[in-house]
Structure 1
Amino acid sequence: MLTKKQIQLLEFIQKRMAQDGVPPSFDEMKDALDLRSKSGIHRLVTALEERGFIRRLPHRARALEILRLPESLAQAAPAAATRTGFAPKVISNDRPTRPRGAIGIVDSGATDLPLMGRIAAGVPIEAISEVAHHVSVPSSMLSGREHHYALEVKGDSMIEAGINDGDVVVIREQSNADNGDIIVALVEGHEATLKRYRRKGSMIALEAANPAYETRILPEESVKVQGRLVGLIRSY
């Protein structure tokens, strides 16, 4: 049987993964459960792992996988998924002989997406406009009839969101975003970057998920949303 705090933490992780596609950081877990230090979160995570509810993935920052949910949360999960929309998924590829980013996925409902080149998860790089090649992703990763495309990540500024250098991100093309969304932002018309979006009045904050990088705060007219993260493909 799980304690009240263990259930609260598991529910928070499940909701954040359904909303953002990546687990929350330990600081976010601490704040959500109103604990004074991260050591309490470490104990709760260890307890959940020992009981077979979650698994920590080695050698990756902020990498947790939910293996199962208690009955009370499992019944609520479908309704939560409906409210939050599409839940991003991570697809792993263990075939290192393939070119980096050229990821083949065997799936009866696969869709080919244009790989538009690289997107900076760090200092913004030149805007992406040309198709490098295509990648095949499960159709279940895509939502509705919206246009999607893929980008290869360059840099480590989103590593605490579970996005590593060399990962391929699946982006749903859209021009709007909610606070907390991970987006492709076009900055001042010529620089593209992958960051978490926050609106602060007439200003837009582009937040990194790595303490080594500062948050950029720009006038709203300088930032154009070009899409939202809905999936992640990792090669090894």
Structure 2
Amino acid sequence: MAITRRQKEVIDFLSSFTQKNGYSPSYEEIASGLGLSSLATVHKHITNLQNKGLLQRAHNRSRSIDVLPARSGKKAPTVSPAGPHRRRQARRSNRKRREHLLSDIIGNREVFALEVRGDSMRDEHIVSGDYVLVERTRTAREGEIIVALIDGSDATLKRFYREGSMIRLQPSNTEMSPIYAPAANVSIQGKVLGVLRKYA
């Protein structure tokens, strides 16, 4: 079975991380470990590897990505470049992959889409006009990208950090300063699962 070089790197990272820590990495940790800036890219690689029978995961628990052992009598996956014939195959199956990706991101969770306005998250490759898929939740972990209401009215998309009794909402744009607000004044609406971009 042929896999791309990046997919091989994903498998190697998953195996190494799980062996070292005793649990599988989050999508954020995979992105950080492989130098990927988009969680949607991580989802795409994981989904493709799952479809090839090399990974398995459960939607109802976190850190649920498991590398499957090689099946008896089958060759180990090989890395192959994406030549012209593979690019044609990719174009033909584009719609199917998008449907798989969207289904995989959402799973059984309550998700809504939000159009991005402004460039406060541009260093995460989230720019004005993009749509973010947001899982509705009232809690978040340190460093997660969230949608928050400040003082019940001003919605913002930022990375989330607790600093004592204050919340720091950190933009991913070196030209912008973080927002600080008392924890009681910040209401988390959800955390970002992925980014959708429409090309005209």
Change (3 A) 1:204 1:72: same
Judge conservation of contact 1:185–1:226 (CA < 8 Å) in 2. yes
Q: Structure 1: which 4+ aligned runs deviate by more than 4 Å?
A: 77-81, 108-111
Aligned CA-pair RMSD: 3.3
Change (3 A) 1:106 1:200: same
Judge conservation of contact 1:154–1:166 (CA < 8 Å) in 2. yes
Distance 2:174 2:97 in 1: 41
Uncovered stretches (5+) of structure 1, i.e. residues with no partner: 1-51, 54-65, 93-104, 112-136
Uncovered stretches (5+) of structure 2, i.e. residues with no partner: 31-38, 45-93
Given candidates 68, 87, 95, the residue that maps to 1:106 is 95
Residue in structure 1 matched with residue 163 of structure 2 by the alignment: 200
Residue in structure 2 matched with residue 232 of structure 1 by the alignment: 195
Change (3 A) 1:234 1:221: same
Deviation at residue 146 of structure 1 after TM alignment: 2.2
Q: What is the TM-score normalised by the length of structure 2? A: 0.57
**Alignment deviations for residues 160-188 of structure 1 (CA, whole Å, 9 cap, x no partner):** 11211211110000000111000000110
More strand by percentage: 1
SS at match of 1:89: helix
Distance 2:152 2:159 in 1: 18
Q: Sequence identity, in percent? A: 30
Task: Give 2:26's aligned amino acid.
Answer: T
Distance 2:196 2:12 in 1: 31
Task: Name the count of aligned residue pairs.
Answer: 135
Q: What is the TM-score normalised by the length of structure 1? A: 0.49
More helix by percentage: 2
**Alignment deviations for residues 120-146 of structure 1 (CA, whole Å, 9 cap, x no partner):** xxxxxxxxxxxxxxxxx7201114x32
Deviation at residue 67 of structure 1 after TM alignment: 5.4
Given candidates 69, 76, 80, the residue that maps to 2:9 is 69
